[in-house]
Each structure stands twice: as C-alpha cells, then as structure tokens.
C-alpha cells in the first residue's frame, strides 16, 4: 500500500461530500479521491470495482446503511466513519480502535485522522502493511451495533403463491441433502430457501439447533429422553408426535437450553 491512498467518499449528503473533498484537498500527499457515492448500494458497487485503500463512510443512508454495506463487502478497506451518532456510539467506535469523524467535520480533527492512518500504513513488514485493526474492528462492531430484526413468520412457496408461516406454527426445521424443510404443527412440510445457518442467525432464541440437520422450536418440545453417546431424544407436540434425535456434539447445548 503506497501513498496517496486510493479513497472513496460515501455519504447521502452532497454538501457533506463537498466539504470533505475540500478538507481532504489539503492532504493530497496522503489521499487520492477516486470516487464518491450517495448511498450504501452505490458505495458497494464502487468499492468492489475500484478496490480502494480507504473509505470515508456515513452510517445513516438510504438503500443500504453503512453497516449493511460493510457486511456485504468481499474485501475490506480501511474505514473512517463520518457520523452524527451520539456519544455512546462514538465510545463504541473508540473502544474498537475505529477512527471516526463527528459531523460537521473539523479540519484539525481530520488532520489527526490522516496522521493516524499514515502511522498505520507506514508500520510495514517486508513492504506490506502489518494488520489493519480498523478493518478487523469493523466486523466486530457490525455484530455489536446491528441488532437482529424481529421476524414473525417464514415465507414459503406453494405453487404460484407465497405462504407466510407464523413462527408459532413451526415445530422444527430439517435439512435433507441440500434442502431445508419447515415442519408445521399440523404435520405439513414446506421447502424453504434458507440454510440452517441463516435460520440460526435470523430466528429468535426460541429455535434451537440440536444437530447439524435439525433446528427445533423449543416451545413445542413435550418430552426429552437421554439417548446413547450423549445424545437426547426430543418428543414434539406436533400432530405427528415427531421424535427427533440431537447430535452427539450438541448434547451440552440441549442440556443448557432445556436446563437439564
């Protein structure tokens, strides 16, 4: 990585972009602006095509906000947030070693940011930047500051229709080969478009992964029996009275979640 750093500005406020361009013009030995974007969707496309070294990023933007955009990147540049977040969020940035600029951006504060970036890049080993703590911290911050969206149903396709199945009607999910099926309390099964990993991220804690291929709604469990090799046999309250076996490596999870 060499100076000036290829840099992209991403902000939905044109005046903010203009001001930042003007301030960065005094740091042309360090920064080369190669483009700007007015929202996260445009920013995502621009970053993937131009592969910048550094981005200045707003957080609250239309289409994709700053966090959503970062979560979709395949490669992570260095990130400086330009944000109007309150002091508590700013403290989170500081604790994660991510630099930030609080709007309206001041010239002196920007200068300190540029010096910090230069120090980071100039710490080289064999001509390559050591690590990029800002990039690593961005991913940690994404998990902390991007809360789960509360969902109430899962959409499944039935013929030409899209059916919404309430979470309260779902007994369990089961993976078969490359497909994941949703089983309802009345005994129906529907093919979903999700993987179990995705469902584990999306669904509330009511749903518990009990094996590599099964996730259950623990509110629909009626009985739990100890099985061999550290496994458990779970009896469900669905119409079919389904019995599901936990994986041998999921025994502790089942014990903990069911308080056994």
Q: What is the mean pLDDT of residues 229-255?
A: 90
Query: Does 126 score more than 50 pLDDT?
Result: no
The pLDDT confidence band at residue 96, using thresholds 50, 70 and 90, is very low
The pLDDT confidence band at residue 9, using thresholds 50, 70 and 90, is very high
Query: What class has domain 153-258?
Result: mainly beta
Residues of CATH 3.40.50.2300 domain(s) within the chain? 5-144
pLDDT of residue 132: 54
Q: What is the distance between the alpha carbons of residues 94 and 109, in angstroms, rounded to a whole number?
A: 14
pLDDT of residue 95: 47
Torsional class of 230: left (φ above 0), alpha (ψ -120 to 50), beta (otherwise):
left
Q: For the structural domain made of 5-144, what CATH number should be given?
A: 3.40.50.2300
What are the tens digits of pLDDT across the range 39-92? 999 999 999 999 999 999 988 888 888 888 888 888 888 888 887 766 545 554
Residues of CATH 2.40.50.1020 domain(s) within the chain? 153-258
**Predicted structure pTM score:** 0.53
Burial letters 164-197, b for 16+ CB under 10 A, else e:
ebeeebbbbbbbeeeebebbbbeebebebebebe
* Range from 40-44, 80-84, 98-102, 109-113 carrying the lowest mean pLDDT: 98-102
The pLDDT confidence band at residue 98, using thresholds 50, 70 and 90, is low
Element (H, E) at 236: strand 232-236
């Amino acid at each position: 990585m060499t100076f000036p750093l290829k840099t992209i500005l991403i902000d939905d406020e044109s005046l903010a972009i203009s001001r930042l361009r003007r301030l960065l013009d005094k740091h042309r030995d360090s920064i080369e602006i190669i483009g700007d974007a007015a929202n996260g969707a445009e920013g995502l496309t621009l970053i993937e095509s131009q592969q910048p070294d550094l981005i200045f990023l707003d957080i609250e933007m239309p289409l994709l906000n700053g966090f959503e955009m970062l979560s979709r990147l395949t490669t992570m540049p260095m990130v400086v947030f330009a944000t109007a977040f309150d002091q508590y969020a700013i403290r989170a940035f500081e604790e994660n070693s991510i630099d930030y600029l609080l709007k309206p951006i001041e010239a002196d504060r920007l200068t300190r940011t540029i010096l910090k970036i230069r120090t980071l890049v100039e710490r080289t080993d064999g001509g390559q930047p050591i690590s990029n703590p800002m990039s690593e911290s961005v991913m940690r911050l994404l998990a902390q500051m991007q809360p789960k969206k509360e969902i109430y149903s899962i959409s499944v396709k039935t013929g030409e229709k899209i059916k919404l199945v309430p979470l309260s009607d779902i007994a369990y999910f089961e993976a078969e080969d490359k497909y994941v099926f949703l089983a309802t309390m009345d005994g129906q099964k529907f093919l979903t478009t999700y993987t179990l990993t995705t469902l584990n991220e999306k669904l509330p804690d009511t749903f518990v992964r009990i094996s590599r291929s099964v996730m259950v709604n623990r509110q629909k469990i009626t009985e739990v029996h100890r099985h061999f090799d550290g496994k458990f046999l779970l009896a469900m309250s669905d119409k079919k009275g389904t019995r599901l076996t936990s994986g041998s490596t999921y025994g502790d999870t089942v014990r903990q979640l069911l308080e056994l």
